[in-house]
Chain A
Amino acid sequence: MASNGIESPPKRVKHESSSTAGNFNLAPPTFDLDIWATHYEGALLPLRLSHVAIHCPTLARQAMTMAISTAKEGKDVRLYTRICELADQLGFSDIGTPDEEHIAKQEEGNRRQLSKLESELRGYKNNLIRESIRMGQEDMANHQLATGGPLPDPANPLSTNAAGYNAAYQAFGKMRDYCTTPTHMASMNLRLIYTAILQAVSMQQLGSSAGTNWNNVLSTSSRLRTSGVKEEEQIKLTPIATAMSGIAQLSQGNYRDAAAAFLATPKEYNTIGPVHGADFGRAVASANDIAIYGGLCSLATLSRQELIDLVLGGNFRAFLELEPHMRKAISLYTTAKYQACLDTLRRYYSDWSLDIFLGAQAMSARHGVSHVDLLFARIREKSITAYFSSFSQVSLSALATTFPPALSSSSSSSSSSAAAMMEEEVLRMIETKQLDARLDVVKGVLVAPRKEARSAAHEEAKRVAEEVERTLLLRLHRVNVSLAGLGVPKGKGGNWGGEVGNGVGGGWRDYGG
């Protein structure tokens, strides 16, 4: 359960041959890997590259080579060995042999550094100077983060809580007691967010749930938004806080909240550069990424009018300019050109699936279904609903031509025709109440149910009136029984009313005559 782990590839390699994991066999993306990699830095970069390597066979070798060299530059020895292992498992044994000499040297250096920092920190603590202690803690935490934290003790299962990135997270948390100004707090919060994101990503790559870590990101982000620092400083913090909470919401599958967070991100995100020594634009998500995340989430969850007003017309447009195809897809949707919109999106399916946040497996979904798949499915369903809303009936074949069945589902039922798949999809949508329609299987058309407002209103009025009458009668009964003292009396034993419990017919004709 090492925190800087990478998803175990043997399982994946096996999956590649089977049909379920369409996700692990992505087409090459439109971007150039070298250039793409230059946009990022930090510990997430090797993780990103290995994500690419696992999911895209054509780029695997190149990505692995880059990942190994990046990891070797860093201090995290275990990350390096794991990536080497991964390369080995993916079949690149030539590059997958770890450099033992380098490992030993680096480990020795790390250990020395750690003990030096520890003794320094002890010294600061003896001197009782808060600022020094804070800085000592920060150095210590930074070191833990860079080296990937201590190894868990195999004998003690609880030790995993303090191993790996958890150690760094806790170390940053310890700074809190020694922070004296809001700026210090803000700087600590920034580091906590970054560490929590690292934790979350590595948990996800191991295939376990990262819910707690994302929640940490969310709560810390909201603290960052109200940090109490001077306004000119806050201007730099807010974009990071909103963008990171957007990523956390996205990763937890709350696409609507994610869209709201991304749309609220000020355009300064693009230009702030490093804040308190941390450049989130390079370490976590670039402004281009934010444009994609925000665009996709909005497209999947917002109404047409909201898209026009908030996304195309609002602040977020500044981000969309960075990714013109995203902007084009949204405008196509708002002008009801659904097919073109979906086509545009599909062209970038690979690119987005290779993103470490969008391509991660969605929590609630089946195995191998990523956020991109879910978002695409939502956009598609929304488009079908919107398309159908202007017709009283549409034939399934016409619907299937307008919305060709998605690529991802084609593998599961390749034998059935497009119309049959459309039928399945439409039925599913009717069942989940997204689509108000009925299917005429015989003619192969989708029919919108006719509604008569007048009779529907009457029907509803009658229902409500009956409900009112029933409720009134029930309450009247209650009041009357209470007034007459005829409630079920307390029985002798247990909860059961005494003689009343004996059932019907306790004595026929025992009265009245």
Chain B
Amino acid sequence: MADAVSTLLSFPPDDTSSLSTKKYDDLANKFLKSLEKQPNATWTRQIEKKNILELLDPATNTIPYLYALNAQVNLAPKASTTLDSHLPLAATFLTTFDPIQARYVGEEFRVLIAWVLECVPAAGVDYLTAATTGLLRLDPTAGTFTSMHLLILRTCLDQAVPSHALPILNKDIYAFPSEPTKNVPEDYPGEDTDLSNTFITTKSGFSHKLKPEYILEYYLLGARIYLGQRNYPRARLFLEYIILTPSSQHAASAMQSEAYAQWILVGLLDQGKRYPLPRTHDGAVMKSIRSVARPYEALADCFEQRDWRKLQAEMEAGMQTWHNDGNLRAVREVREALLRFRVQDLQKRYAALSIERVGLYLGFSSEQTLQMVGEMIRQKQLHASITPSPNDTAANAVLRFHFDITPAVQDDELEQQTKRIESLITSVRDADRRLQLTKEYVEFQKRQKRAGPDAADLADQMDLSYEAPMVAGRGMDGEGDFMEELEDGDEDIMAG
């Protein structure tokens, strides 16, 4: 018995910091093998009248602690008993575990998170936070997509606490778990790295096998949350992720058309018009998507013409559609936004004008207009002020727009933006590297070589002619099939 305990405690060695990564890796793997030999009973037995979990420290003995915790939860006769006894332990574990050790036991980790999330409806949303913390502790960037991401998101929405998903959502996904490339020496999971996709791979067990719909769903749910938070740029990004997801033979997904409909609405709410379609979209896919989203296009047409009455009519006509798509609330908001944009449009022409004229333009009485515009100013949607008229009639009150609309951008804001882009570049470089290791790329290079140096030069020229760096999308000009895509993948996506 004591023998078993000493095995469990044999890792990590005391001098972890002095070990080389390779040595550490060897020891860890050996340790895992020895753990597998342990009978199941090891995990549940009482040792010296104590639960084995009390003997282990989650921060140092992360691996055996996780094994034991999972085994005890699994083997417990009734789910309700573990809820009280083990859930707090799990929460402590998730906030204190050693992230390096955890990299070796991905599957167990995933099972634990899933169990904690399952308990959330009964135990309360605090444990949701624990799960999120656990995920972020494992991978502070949360940048490699796993099924845990989606699971957390779903639980948040289930529990009607969408804001709890933000710590995860706010991180950008920069990789999906991929298979280790053949003939390339693998990185050790224990290696110190900024990129979590070195240890979160298809083999590490951190993620259930991913399907395309999981990714679309993650972004779609995420976009909904951002829409609710009125974080339009982020919602836009998520929706564009979905719309631009490559497909084989121009297949489109219903989720893409759903995203497109929302993307239109977000554009209207954010900028008063549809966003420009990203250049890298696939024409054939867009056609399929658009054909389904007709009512939304009609809505956007009215909006862009600032035609309030027509929009109202379109809204009534499409009530069933909005309702079925779950977009009714957003559409209502779009209607409110139209009035706001109509008043904001005035700002482009006028410095000051009477409420009466605003009312005439909007088609409301002066009193209504005064109230409406006042509300907009209070909500900071409008940078303006109202001067009451001397005789106190609504019609003669004056609406005066202020020109210094936006407070000057602070330097540090720009600096942060620069940092964000710089860190993004690291991820992009990594993606480039992975791209260069694919079979397709190698074959493409071979063909390129056979074609002679001139052909290669042509590709270079393309890069040179690249004009507007931030908008152009030549590198990944998506004409559909994603295998083809890989073949033109030699173009550095940082070319811009």
CB < 8 Å neighbour of B420 from A464, A469, A484: A469
In the complex the two chains form, what is the Cα distance from A445 to B435 in whole Å?
A: 61
Query: How many Å lie between the Cα of A505 and that of B151 in the bound state?
Result: 11
User: In the complex, which residues of chain A have a beta carbon less than 8 angstroms from the beta carbon of B251?
Assistant: 488-491, 495-498
Contact check, B253 vs A440: say whether CB atoms are below 8 A apart.
no
A–B Cβ pairs within 8 angstroms, 11 of them: A442-B353, A452-B404, A455-B408, A462-B414, A473-B172, A478-B280, A484-B177, A488-B256, A490-B247, A500-B253, A503-B255
Is A482 part of the binding interface, using a Cβ–Cβ cutoff of 8 Å? yes
Q: Report A468-495 CB contacts with B as 1/0, cut-off 8 Å.
A: 1111111111111111111111110001
Bound-complex Cα distance A469 to B470 (A): 8
In whole Å, how far is B451's beta carbon from the nearest beta carbon of chain A? Answer: 23
With the chains together, A276 CA to B253 CA distance in Å?
70
A233 within 8 A of B: no
Does A467 make an interface contact (CB < 8 A)? yes
Complex Cα spacing A272 to B452, Å: 60
The reply to whether A496 and B288 contact each other, CB–CB distance below 8 Å, is yes
Residues of chain A whose beta carbon lies under 8 Å from any beta carbon of chain B? 427, 430-431, 438-443, 445, 447, 449-450, 452, 454-455, 458-459, 461-462, 464-491, 495-506, 508-509, 511-513
Q: Which residues of B contact A442 (CB under 8 A)?
A: 352-354, 398, 400
CB of B177, distance to nearest CB on chain A (Å): 7
How many whole Å from A218's CB to the nearest CB in chain B? Answer: 32
Are the C-beta atoms of A476 and B493 separated by less than 8 Å?
yes
With A442-B353, A490-B251, A513-B118 as contacts: A475 and B475 at CB distance below 8 Å: yes
**B237/A474 in contact, CB under 8 A:** yes
Chain B 450-477: CB-based contact to A (< 8 A → 1; otherwise 0)? 0000000000000000000111010110
B1 at the interface (CB under 8 A from A): no
Interface: B485 (CB within 8 A): yes
Beta-carbon nearest neighbor of A471 in chain B:
B470
Bound-state Cα–Cα, A489 to B211, Å: 10
Chain B residues within 8 Å of A466, by CB: 233, 417
Residues of B109-143 contacting chain A, CB below 8 A: 110-111, 113-115, 118
Is B348 on the interface with A (CB-CB < 8 A)? yes
| B221 interface residue per 8 A CB criterion | yes
Query: Which 6 pairs between the two chains have the least Cβ-Cβ distance?
Result: A488-B247, A455-B408, A484-B176, A511-B208, A438-B351, A482-B482
Which of B245, B493, B494 has most A Cβ within 10 Å?
Answer: B245
Q: Which residues of B contact A501 (CB under 8 A)?
A: 253-255
Given A474-B278, A475-B280, A496-B252: A438 and B350 within 8 A (CB)? yes
Q: Is there contact, CB below 8 Å, between A512 and B208?
A: yes
- A430-B349, A472-B428, A511-B208 given; A479·B435 CB < 8 A: yes
Q: Is B241 an interface residue (CB 8 A)?
A: yes
Measured between beta carbons, the chain A residues less than 8 angstroms from B471 are 467, 471
Are B496 and A471 touching (Cβ within 8 A)? yes
A397 to B85, CA, bound (A): 84
Tally of contacts, chain A with chain B, CB under 8 A: 242
The answer for the CA separation of A458 and B406 in the assembled complex, in Å, is 11
Using known A-B contacts A469-B417, A475-B493, A481-B176, determine if residue A504 contacts B349 with beta carbons closer than 8 Å. Answer: no
B217 at the interface (CB under 8 A from A): yes
Of B110, B118, B240, the residue contacting A474 (CB under 8 A) is B240
The answer, yes or no, to whether B96 is at the interface (CB within 8 Å) is: no
Q: Any chain A CB within 8 A of the CB of B220?
A: yes
Q: Would you call A450 and B349 a contact (CB within 8 A)?
A: no
Q: Which of B413, B421, B425, B482 contacts A487 (CB 8 A)?
A: B482
Binding site for A on B (CB under 8 A): 110-111, 113-115, 118, 147-148, 151, 154, 172-178, 208-213, 215-217, 220-221, 233, 236-237, 240-241, 244-256, 258, 278, 280, 284-285, 288, 347-354, 357, 398, 400-401, 403-404, 406, 408-409, 411, 413-414, 417-418, 420-421, 424-425, 427-428, 431, 434-435, 438, 469-471, 473, 475-476, 478, 482-483, 485-486, 489, 493-494, 496
Given A476-B431, A479-B493, A480-B176, is A450 in contact with B111 using a C-beta cutoff of 8 Å?
Answer: no
A469-B420, A487-B247 are known contacts. Are A496 and B253 too (CB-CB below 8 A)? yes
A471 x B421 contact (CB < 8 A): no
**Is the CB–CB distance between B254 and A441 below 8 Å?**
no
Q: With A465-B421, A500-B212 known to touch, is A476 a contact of B253 (CB < 8 Å)?
A: no
Assess the B351–A458 pair: CB atoms within 8 A: no
Q: Is B482 within 8 A of A481, CB to CB?
A: yes
Would you call A476 and B427 a contact (CB within 8 A)?
A: yes
**How far, in angstroms, from A484 to B146 measured CA to CA in the complex?**
12
Are B486 and A506 in contact, with the CB atoms below 8 A? no
Q: Are B470 and A467 in contact (CB under 8 A)?
A: yes
Task: Evaluate contact between B254 and A488: CB separation under 8 angstroms.
Answer: no
Question: Judging by beta carbons under 8 Å apart, are B352 and A441 in contact?
Answer: yes
The answer to whether A459 touches B406, judged by C-beta atoms less than 8 angstroms apart, is yes
Q: A462-B417, A465-B421 are in contact. Are A431 and B212 (CB under 8 A)?
A: no
| Alpha-carbon separation in the docked complex, A444 to B172 (Å) | 51
A268 to chain B, nearest CB (A): 44
Q: Does B470 lie within 8 Å of A464, measured CB to CB?
A: yes
A502 CA / B216 CA spacing, docked (Å): 12
Q: What is the CA–CA distance of A491 and B249 in the complex, to the nearest angstrom?
A: 9
A477 to B151, CA, bound (A): 20
CA distance A508 to B151 in the complex (A): 9
Q: What's the nearest-Cβ distance from chain A to residue B359, in Å?
A: 13
Residues of A within 8 A of B176 (CB): 480-481, 483-484, 486
Closest B-chain residue to A468, C-beta based?
A: B470
A443 (CB) vs chain B CBs: closest residue: B352
Which residues of the partner chain B approach A486 to less than 8 Å between Cβ atoms?
176, 210-212, 215, 245
| Residues on B with beta carbons closer than 8 Å to the beta carbon of A484 | 176-178, 210
CB neighbours (8 Å) of B420 from chain A are 469
Which residues of A sit under 8 angstroms from B240, Cβ to Cβ?
A: 470, 474
Q: Would B476 and A475 count as touching, CB distance under 8 A?
A: yes
Contacts A431-B349, A438-B349 given; does A450 touch B414 at CB 8 Å: no
The chain A residue sitting closest to B247, CB to CB, is A488
Q: B118's closest neighbor in chain A, by CB?
A: A513
- Complex CA distance for A447 and B428, rounded to whole angstroms: 47
Q: How far is the CA of A509 from the CA of B349 in the complex (A)?
A: 55
CA distance A427 to B148 in the complex (A): 57
Q: For residue B404, which residues in chain A have a CB less than 8 angstroms away from its CB?
A: 450, 452
Residues of B within 8 A of A430 (CB): 348-349
Smallest CB separation, A189 vs chain B (Å): 40
In whole angstroms, what is the CA distance A464 to B172 when docked?
Answer: 19
Most buried by B among A430, A487, A513: A487
Whether the Cβ atoms of A474 and B212 lie closer than 8 Å is: no
Q: How far is the CA of A454 from the CA of B409 in the complex (A)?
A: 10
With A468-B469, A480-B174, A495-B252: A452-B244 Cβ-Cβ less than 8 Å: no
Distance of B224 from chain A, by nearest CB (Å):
10
Q: How far does the Cβ of B481 sit from chain A's closest Cβ, in whole Å?
A: 8
A497 touches B212 (CB 8 A): yes
Sample of 18 more A-B contacts, CB < 8 Å, known A440-B350, A474-B240: A442-B354, A454-B408, A458-B414, A467-B470, A468-B469, A471-B471, A471-B496, A474-B237, A483-B434, A486-B176, A486-B212, A488-B251, A490-B248, A497-B251, A502-B213, A503-B254, A509-B118, A511-B147
Knowing A500-B212, A512-B147, the reply to whether A480 touches B431 (Cβ < 8 A) is: yes
- Return the chain A residue nearest B349 by Cβ: A430
User: Are the CB atoms of A479 and B489 closer together than 8 Å?
Assistant: yes
Q: How far apart sit A452 and B148, CA to CA, in the bound complex (Å)?
A: 48
Q: How far is the CA of A512 from the CA of B213 in the complex (A)?
A: 15
Chain B contacts of A498 at CB under 8 A? 251
- Whether B408 lies near A508 (C-beta < 8 A) is no
What's the minimum C-beta distance from B324 to chain A, rounded to whole angstroms?
11
Q: Is the CB of B482 within 8 A of A495?
A: no
When chains A and B are docked, how far (Å) is the Cα of A454 from the Cα of B174? 34
Instruction: Answer whether A496 and B424 are a contact pair too, CB < 8 Å, given A450-B404, A481-B215.
Output: no
Kindly state the separation between the CA atoms of A462 and B418 in the bound complex, as whole angstroms: 9
Pair B213/A476 contact, Cβ less than 8 Å: no
CB distance from B90 to the nearest CB of A (A): 14
> Are A502 and B245 closer than 8 Å at their CB atoms?
no
Q: How far is the CB of A77 from chain B (nearest CB, A)?
A: 54
Which residue of the partner chain, among A449, A468, A477, A505, contacts B244 with CB atoms under 8 Å? A477
